[in-house]
Amino acid sequence: MKKPNILLITSDQQHWNTIGAFNPELSTPNLDRLVQEGTTFTRAYCPNPTCTPTRSSIITGQYPSQHGAWTLGTKLLEDRHTVGEDFKRADYRTALIGKAHFHPLKGTEEYPSLEAYPLLQDLDYWKAFDQTFYGFDHVELARNHTNEAHVGQHYALWMEEKGLTNWRDYFLAPTGTMDPNQLHHWAIPEEFHYNTWIAERTNALLEQYKESNEGFFLWSSFFDPHPDYLVPSPWDTMYDPEKLTIPTVTPGEHEKNPPHFQLTQEEHPDFSYLKESGYGLHGYHSHSRLPESERKQLVATYYGMISCMDAHIGRILDRLDALGLAENTIVVFTTDHGHFFGQHGLQYKGGFLYEDLIKLPFIVRYPGHVPAGRSSNAIQSLVDLAPSFLSMAGLPVPCFMTGVDQSSVWTGQAEHARDHAICEFRHEKTTIHQKTYVDERYKITVYYNQTYGELFDLQEDPGEIRNLWDEPAYRDLKSRLLLSYIWAELGKEPLAMPRIWHA
């Protein structure tokens, strides 16, 4: 029997409840199609709520505290083993199209970065780039979210090849000339949007693999709906802000939370006590300054970005069908982490590990193997993707991968493969360092060198409004969960090799 192909499709910073099949306020016909044809996992989690750590976990099968890319502004060291290497050894073709973010925007002599200035925008360099990149034998990369000045690499080359010689008009200074005051509507024609680029280049590779009759592990990595909130016509006006449900804070909900939650609701908070490295702190600022009208428009644009992306995911799924590859291709759709757009009075992301930020949309389709139209509450983690892909392909899983093999759960042969998930967030060396343990019902978050924390009963309080950490009636539960968390930490320690003899 021919080994299956793997197609991983990811968005960036997508809230778990933004698929039309489950949320009637959105239109996502192509993700809905995957829901109908595959299994949706409603309890999927990221190992870290930021890009570099989680994306590195996807390809290493290890947690950020293990693979070393522990926060934004770090890199995944080149000596780390990746799942692409395992697939290459098994004669698979491996490729990544879109966002990688395994490197920071600045490098040093000790830690050089391929995604740093000025190399990021050296188009001659990227035109000739033919190196293996973290186990991918073919990559086409970009680094910008919407109109960011970080545009360059293969995406800029593609725009020029397509005849958009004035592409800089659609991006911010110093790279481009776009007006920074232009919000929500992005004037770039959709035919030159990076969604179009990712779908087109993914489909070109699918055609190549079909023609050469080669198995493949292909990651199509979309940038949206990561802010800034911009999308081309007609998607920018697809949703009426006045007709959408806009999440908000519950009065008093942060009174029993750690201090950084309360500070976000102040107009001029002081987070200087957390600054350690001198670099920016994601999420540690005021979240209370946005007027109601702007918050509504942000949600409308965010939904428009998702619907636009969905249309281009549909192009990929259609090409899989047209090439006759769908029956032998495992398709997984997910995102790298979630997003706040008003929940708990918060915007974007940061050290607030609510379900909105760490729970993910997660769909698996493999015709004839993964049950169609099914929903499962089996806990998943993105750290499980690498070992599960290998197992589904009949390949050995390296013992140092600490993710769990979910193949029997995906195929419906087992109810669950793990009873918990762990999410790590270490944004500074000591001052911002926390971990969340979540099981079937409860969630507990601990902070390095702090006596405060969070404890939520997700069954009785799914909105995570009532922090039980300091409530005397829950002292025994807190002790039990802390012990379970310690066991989970012990259980995820990596092994360099199996034990092979008595002594």
Arithmetic mean of pLDDT over the chain: 97
Task: Report whether pLDDT(39) > 80.
Answer: yes
Predicted confidence at residue 88, as pLDDT, reads 98
pLDDT tens for 177-188 read 999 999 999 999
Average pLDDT over every residue of 391-404: 98
Question: Residue 264 — φ and ψ, nearest 5°?
Answer: -65, -20
pLDDT tens for 409-456 read 999 999 999 999 999 999 999 999 999 999 999 999 999 999 999 999
Q: In what order do the strands lie in the sheet with 44-45?
A: 359-360, 44-45, 380-381
* pLDDT tier, 79 (very low <50, low <70, confident <90, very high otherwise): very high
Q: Which CATH architecture has domain 5-357+370-404+420-492?
A: 3-Layer(aba) Sandwich (3.40)
Alpha-carbon span 6 to 255, nearest angstrom = 46
Q: In what order do the strands lie in the sheet with 138-142?
A: 138-142, 93-99, 216-221, 5-11, 329-335, 362-365, 39-41, 374-376
Percent above pLDDT 90 for the chain: 99
pLDDT tens for 203-237 read 999 999 999 999 999 999 999 999 999 999 999 99
Helical H runs in 333-373?
Answer: 355-358
CA atoms within 13 A on the CB side of 371: 15
Predicted confidence at residue 342, as pLDDT, reads 97
Predicted confidence at residue 2, as pLDDT, reads 84
Predicted confidence at residue 105, as pLDDT, reads 96
Q: CB within 8 A of 394, min separation 6: which ones?
A: 3
Predicted confidence at residue 61, as pLDDT, reads 98
Average pLDDT over every residue of 362-376: 98
Average pLDDT over every residue of 364-368: 98
Reduced to 3 states (helix: H, G, I; strand: E, B; else coil), residue 173 is: coil
* pLDDT tier, 1 (very low <50, low <70, confident <90, very high otherwise): low
Alpha-carbon span 435 to 427, nearest angstrom = 11
Alpha-carbon span 213 to 323, nearest angstrom = 11
pLDDT tens for 300-345 read 999 999 999 999 999 999 999 999 999 999 999 999 999 999 999 9
Helical H runs in 114-217?
Answer: 123-127, 153-161, 194-212
> Do 71 and 427 meet the contact criterion of CB atoms below 8 Å apart?
yes
Average pLDDT over every residue of 354-368: 98
Alpha-carbon span 395 to 402, nearest angstrom = 16
Q: Which residues pair with 454 in a beta bridge?
A: 445
Query: How far, in Å, are 67, 147, 194, 259 from residue 141 at the CA level?
Result: 22, 16, 10, 39
Alpha-carbon span 152 to 143, nearest angstrom = 7
Tokens 């999440």 appear where? 247
Average pLDDT over every residue of 270-279: 96
pLDDT tens for 242-260 read 999 999 999 999 999 999 9
For the chain, give every domain's residue range.
5-357+370-404+420-492
CA atoms within 13 A on the CB side of 103: 19
